[in-house]
């Protein structure tokens, strides 16, 4: 079985496509061996005679990321290396600027072609752009993240879930196919240094005070987490997924974020459960909402700025910019959970302690940051810094979209006007009390 041609996008079409030389899979967003369209495509190009090597380049620092996320990533990559070794595909780990390192590797082994993952975020896009121009050979992107490839589902920024949903649904049948199994390598690969994991840990140059959390990392753990969700919790999803005290959501977002689990695998497994409303509601989040985030980041380079807000929301926030605030906090006060609201502090604590905040609380948490910051710009900065520092699933299109949805009306509509919020949808603790047992949540996370 061949990888669907529409998942494939050549990033430097003017470069030559060589039929000789090794194939490099430059792994970045999809850190897994199974169910990985880019790796399958690289394997397809290698065929029986050309060697295939997999390379991951670790950039020692990334914007707001912390040691917690690097640790999760490196543990997952170790498993990738071990699993590739079992099928005779060498894995090499490089450390440094990803664009330079991948070009160096391609030149060293006289690669014939480089395949990489689709990623709409600015830093990766710029590495890919530089590599595309420096490489002597083709750099080919494969979208293994979205079930319906982001470049295919729409060629513009979609207005809301209701506009992208029919486009996804129209194409879903064509793309939601079973994955072929990755075949072991048959050609003789070039000799490459084994990954030096200790050197990688030493090279990490981010905030080391944010410690790893208990969640097990890697493809194997991700598949176990999926199975346990399907067996034990999916049935409650429709009714209880908005209750932060219930463990009714999947908590798969860290595995999806690091590409340790493919959303397509999750969708395939969920789609046969016959779990009625829970199945439908879950697939709406996993497919429509998640792919809407990639659509936004791909088509709007202001995805992490208020310039990315719809016009109605930006002007409404502006109209209310000088409204008096009852409370204002700095980034440090928010970070240390030192607000007057014990519910807000509990949500911040859940995130800091576990690397995961329940989805319902993320909305409340972000909206209150808007209400208690000196300006919407400062609020957005606080949300992004804290989200990307503590959440395992941070630094992702979902995070930037979640932030702009909460405080800047993205993919939403105008609501009744209020101080500070303007026409942005409002949330308060009283609303939370109507939805779930707030005191239970507070006592669990404010210990």
> Rule CB under 6 A: is residue 391 a binding residue for ligand FAD?
yes
- Helix, strand or coil for residue 77? helix
Q: Residue 140: in which H helix or E strand, if any?
A: strand 138-142
**Min separation Cβ 108 and ligand FAD, Å:** 36
Q: Which of 31, 250, 279, 316 binds ligand FAD (CB under 6 A)?
A: 250
Complex with ligand FAD: residue 81 or 403, whichever CB lies closer: 403
Please list every residue from 252 through 271 that binds ligand FAD, using CB under 6 A: 252-253, 256-257
> Rule CB under 6 A: is residue 394 a binding residue for ligand FAD?
yes
> Rule CB under 6 A: is residue 398 a binding residue for ligand FAD?
yes
Complex with ligand FAD: residue 62 or 203, whichever CB lies closer: 62
> Rule CB under 6 A: is residue 176 a binding residue for ligand FAD?
no
Among residues 250, 177, 262, 253, the alpha carbon closest in space to that of 219 is found at 262
**Min separation Cβ 285 and ligand FAD, Å:** 4
**Considering only 62-70, 370-378, 387-395, 428-436, which stretch makes contact with ligand FAD by CB under 6 A?**
387-395
- Which residues fall within 8 angstroms of residue 195, CB to CB, at 6 or more apart? 77, 78, 81, 91, 92, 93
From residue 326, alpha-carbon distances to 205, 374, 420, 431 in Å are 38, 11, 10, 19
Count the residues of the shown chain that bind ligand FAD, applying the rule CB under 6 A. Answer: 29
Residue 54 per-residue DSSP state: E
**Min separation Cβ 398 and ligand FAD, Å:** 3
**Site map for ligand FAD, 346-385, x if CB under 6 A?**
-------------x--xx--x----------------x--
**Min separation Cβ 254 and ligand FAD, Å:** 8
**Considering only 85-93, 153-161, 401-409, 422-430, which stretch makes contact with ligand FAD by CB under 6 A?**
401-409
Please list every residue from 18 through 77 that binds ligand FAD, using CB under 6 A: none
Question: How big is the CA angle at 37 (ends 183 and 229), to the nearest 5 degrees?
Answer: 100
- Helix, strand or coil for residue 137? strand
Name the residue with tokens 């430097």: 12
**Min separation Cβ 99 and ligand FAD, Å:** 25
**Min separation Cβ 175 and ligand FAD, Å:** 17
Sign of CA pseudo-dihedral 113, 132, 128, 37: negative
Would you tell me how many other CB atoms lie within 10 Å of the CB of residue 315? 12
> Rule CB under 6 A: is residue 316 a binding residue for ligand FAD?
no
**Considering only 29-37, 58-66, 130-138, 392-400, which stretch makes contact with ligand FAD by CB under 6 A?**
392-400
Complex with ligand FAD: residue 34 or 242, whichever CB lies closer: 242
- Which residues fall within 8 angstroms of residue 177, CB to CB, at 6 or more apart? 4
DSSP string over 238-288 = HHHTT-TTS--S---HHHHHTTSS-HHHHHHHHHTS--HHHHHHHHIIIII
Burial (CB count <10 Å: 0-12, 13-18, 19+), residue 401: buried
- Which residues fall within 8 angstroms of residue 229, CB to CB, at 6 or more apart? 250, 251, 252
From residue 331, alpha-carbon distances to 251, 328, 377, 386 in Å are 27, 10, 12, 8
> Rule CB under 6 A: is residue 171 a binding residue for ligand FAD?
no
> Rule CB under 6 A: is residue 409 a binding residue for ligand FAD?
no
**Min separation Cβ 391 and ligand FAD, Å:** 5
Complex with ligand FAD: residue 286 or 423, whichever CB lies closer: 286
Report the distance separating Cα 309 and Cα 233, nearest Å. 35
- Helix, strand or coil for residue 229? helix
Helix axes 290-299, 397-408, angle to 10 degrees: 90
> Rule CB under 6 A: is residue 111 a binding residue for ligand FAD?
no
> Rule CB under 6 A: is residue 233 a binding residue for ligand FAD?
no
> Rule CB under 6 A: is residue 308 a binding residue for ligand FAD?
no
> Rule CB under 6 A: is residue 406 a binding residue for ligand FAD?
yes
**Considering only 106-114, 152-160, 245-253, 419-427, which stretch makes contact with ligand FAD by CB under 6 A?**
245-253
By CB under 6 A, name the binding residues for ligand FAD.
241, 249-253, 256-257, 285-286, 289-290, 293, 359, 362-363, 366, 383, 387, 391, 393-394, 396, 398-399, 402-403, 405-406
């Amino acid at each position: 079985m061949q990888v669907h041609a529409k998942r494939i996008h050549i990033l430097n079409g003017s470069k030559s496509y060589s039929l000789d030389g090794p194939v490099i899979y430059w792994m970045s967003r999809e850190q897994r061996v199974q169910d990985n369209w880019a790796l399958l495509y690289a394997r397809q190009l290698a065929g029986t005679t050309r060697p295939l090597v997999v390379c991951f380049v670790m950039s020692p620092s990334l914007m707001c990321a912390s040691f917690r996320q690097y640790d999760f990533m490196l543990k997952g990559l170790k498993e990738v290396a071990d699993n590739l070794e079992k099928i005779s595909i060498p894995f090499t780990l490089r450390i440094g600027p990803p664009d330079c390192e991948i070009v160096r590797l391609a030149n060293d082994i006289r690669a014939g072609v480089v395949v990489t993952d689709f990623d709409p975020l600015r830093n990766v896009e710029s590495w890919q752009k530089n590599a595309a121009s420096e490489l002597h050979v083709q750099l080919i992107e494969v979208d293994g993240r979205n079930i319906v490839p982001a470049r295919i589902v729409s060629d513009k920024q979609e207005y809301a879930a209701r506009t992208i949903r029919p486009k996804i649904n129209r194409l879903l049948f064509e793309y939601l196919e079973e994955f072929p199994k990755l075949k072991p390598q048959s050609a003789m690969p070039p000799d490459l240094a084994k990954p030096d994991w200790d050197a990688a840990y030493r090279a990490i140059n981010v905030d080391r005070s944010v410690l790893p959390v208990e969640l097990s990392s890697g493809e194997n753990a991700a598949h176990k987490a999926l199975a346990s969700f399907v067996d034990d919790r999916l049935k409650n999803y429709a009714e209880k997924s908005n209750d932060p005290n219930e463990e009714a959501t999947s908590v798969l977002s860290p595995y999806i974020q690091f590409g340790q689990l493919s959303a397509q695998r999750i969708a395939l497994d969920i789609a046969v459960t016959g779990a009625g409303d829970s199945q439908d509601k879950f697939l709406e989040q996993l497919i429509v909402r998640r792919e809407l985030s990639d659509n936004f980041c791909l088509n709007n380079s202001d995805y992490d700025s208020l310039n990315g807000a719809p016009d109605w929301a930006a002007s409404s926030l502006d109209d209310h910019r000088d409204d008096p605030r009852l409370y204002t906090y700095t980034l440090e006060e928010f970070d240390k959970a030192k607000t007057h609201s014990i519910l807000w502090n509990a949500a911040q604590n859940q995130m800091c302690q576990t690397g995961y905040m329940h989805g319902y609380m993320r909305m409340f948490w972000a909206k209150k940051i808007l209400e208690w910051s000196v300006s919407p710009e400062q609020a957005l900065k606080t949300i992004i810094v804290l989200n990307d520092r503590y959440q395992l699933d941070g630094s992702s299109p979902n995070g930037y979209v979640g932030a702009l949805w909460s405080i800047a009306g993205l993919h939403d509509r105008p609501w009744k006007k209020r101080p500070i919020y303007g026409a942005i949808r409002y949330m308060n603790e009283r609303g939370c009390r109507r939805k779930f047992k707030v005191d239970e949540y507070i006592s669990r996370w404010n210990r």
